C-alpha cells in the first residue's frame, strides 16, 4: 500500500459519514485492519481522539445507519435540471 492510499484511508476513517464498509469495498481492509493502520500511522493522542469519536458511532457502520444511503441535500436547495443556469 502506498502513501497516497494510506492518506486516503485515514481521511475516510476520520469522516463521520464514511462507513468502514466503504473502506473495505474500496481498499479491502477490515475494520480491525483500519484500526491497526490508524494506531500505526497516527500520534498516540490523535489515535485516542479518533477511537473515542468513532466508537459506537452509528454512521461508521452501514447496518446501524438511520438514514438512507446517499448524500445530504437541504430541503431549500434548488434542483438543477439539464445543467441550465437561470438567467437573471
Is the full-model pTM beyond 0.75? no
Helices (H) and strands (E) in the chain, counts: 4, 0
Question: Looking at residues 19-43, what average pLDDT do you find?
Answer: 92
Q: Where along the chain do its domains lie?
A: 3-64
CB 23 within 8 A of CB 12: yes
The confidence band for 75, taking pLDDT boundaries of 50, 70 and 90, is: low
pLDDT of amino acid 15: 86
R_g of the chain, CA atoms, integer Å: 17
d(CA 65, CA 78) in angstroms, rounded, equals: 26
CA dist list (Å): 62 to 7, 34, 48: 22, 16, 23
d(CA 54, CA 21) in angstroms, rounded, equals: 14
Amino acid at each position: 500500500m502506498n502513501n497516497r492510499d494510506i492518506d486516503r484511508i485515514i481521511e475516510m476513517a476520520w469522516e463521520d459519514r464514511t462507513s468502514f464498509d466503504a473502506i473495505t469495498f474500496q481498499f479491502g481492509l477490515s475494520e480491525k485492519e483500519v484500526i491497526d493502520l490508524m494506531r500505526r500511522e497516527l500520534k498516540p493522542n490523535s489515535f485516542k481522539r479518533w477511537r473515542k469519536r468513532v466508537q459506537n458511532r452509528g454512521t461508521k457502520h452501514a447496518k446501524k445507519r438511520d438514514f438512507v444511503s446517499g448524500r445530504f441535500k437541504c430541503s431549500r436547495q434548488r434542483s438543477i435540471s439539464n445543467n441550465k443556469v437561470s438567467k437573471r
